[in-house]
Amino acid sequence: MSGRFAPTPSGRMHLGNAYAMLAAWLSARARGEEMRLRIEDIDVPRVMPGADAWIRDDLAWLGLDWSGDVVYQSRRTALYDEVFATLCDAGLLYPCFCSRAEIRAASAPQEGDRFIVYPGTCRRLHDEHPDEAAARVRAGERHAWRLAAPHAGAREGRILFDDRVYGAQDYDLGSALGDVVLRRSDGLYAYQFVVTLDDLLMGVDDIVRGRDLLRSTALQIWLRQRLLDCGIGGGSDGSGGDVRWTPAQTPDYAHLPLLDNAAGVRLAKRVRSLDLGHLREQGVRPQAVVGYCAWALGLVERPRAMDAPEALACFDWRRARAVCGRDLKVPDDIGARLLAM
């Protein structure tokens, strides 16, 4: 059983990524578990060549170690193909021919995080005219593949889980997420599919990440169960090693408040001033970054330099829970503050 770092190599890690990585490492280590490193480079257009080497280097610099081989999603396509075919055979997927504009036009406006619930156009086509849908696929019409999730309000689509930071969660899959895409029309596998499968196959039972993925967790819990129902994930940890974990067990989840800049905008990799490359060039020490992130996690009263083992000594999810509800604003002069730490 393990925790995991699951970065997307789309640029240099910034302070917000370091904070999420530290939290994931502390959580797994506090449970006496190992960390795995999985490079989520499946979304090829977003990948920046060389960013995976930065990630490995920055994690090592922060003193956050991992075990085993680094898993690259881009090298697992044959495995994804096989599992995808199994899900297809189980009747869990259907082809979707809608364009983005069509989906947007047919959708009820969503609040908050711009998540658009698919209005079900091609699900109806698939249910009512399966031959027509199959013929359009055979004819080579551009299509994505969607997961046929429980309908809104269906009993089997109610997902309850306890988040270690945000507490009890209660989602109705059909209305909160709907039929998400598992394979895009450009042929690439989608985040929700590969992340759920890889967490299952890698024996990950401790998942720590930003609160923007809280809602996705409901879907991943459901999809994980469907994978298990299809006999996937029961016999191997994906690396040929022994199986010492109970795959049916749902992982423990913790979602973190996000780090914003001083203007209240979420930190982004394209803004260089808070990326680790820039901070390191300025002479900032890893202990300053770890100490600042430990403070952001609620582990200490005031930011002060410390290394990762020292942060581990004060780690407790109850402390992180006490600071949830405040997304943290990183001040503009953070570079200078970290340098002085």
Closest separation between CB of residue 196 and ligand GLU, Å? Answer: 9
Residue 6 or 328: the one with the smaller Cβ distance to ligand GLU is 6
Residue 6 or 232: the one with the smaller Cβ distance to ligand GLU is 6
Can residue 8 be called a binding residue for ligand GLU (CB under 6 A)? yes
Residue 88 or 213: the one with the smaller Cβ distance to ligand GLU is 213
Closest separation between CB of residue 301 and ligand GLU, Å? Answer: 29
Burial class (CB in 10 A: 0-12, 13-18, 19+), 112: exposed
114 CB neighbour count, 10 Å cutoff: 6
Q: Could you tell me if 36 and 3 are in contact, meaning their C-beta atoms sit under 8 angstroms apart? A: yes
Can residue 7 be called a binding residue for ligand GLU (CB under 6 A)? yes
Residue 75 or 124: the one with the smaller Cβ distance to ligand GLU is 75
Closest separation between CB of residue 8 and ligand GLU, Å? Answer: 4
Q: Judged by CB under 6 A, which of 40, 52, 163, 179 binds ligand GLU? A: 40
Closest separation between CB of residue 269 and ligand GLU, Å? Answer: 10
How far apart CA 286 and CA 117 sit, in angstroms, is 41
Q: Judged by CB under 6 A, which of 1, 6, 96, 165 binds ligand GLU? A: 6
Window 202-231: residues binding ligand GLU (CB under 6 A): 209, 213
User: Which of 44, 45, 25 lies closest to 36, judged by CA?
Assistant: 25
Residue 96 or 256: the one with the smaller Cβ distance to ligand GLU is 256
Residue 195 or 284: the one with the smaller Cβ distance to ligand GLU is 195
Residue 55 or 306: the one with the smaller Cβ distance to ligand GLU is 55
Window 148-207: residues binding ligand GLU (CB under 6 A): 195
How far apart CA 167 and CA 159 sit, in angstroms, is 14
Among the candidate windows 5-13, 135-143, 146-154, 224-232, which touches ligand GLU by CB under 6 A?
5-13
Among the candidate windows 2-10, 120-128, 254-262, 296-304, which touches ligand GLU by CB under 6 A?
2-10
Site residues, ligand GLU (CB under 6 A): 6-8, 40, 195, 209, 213
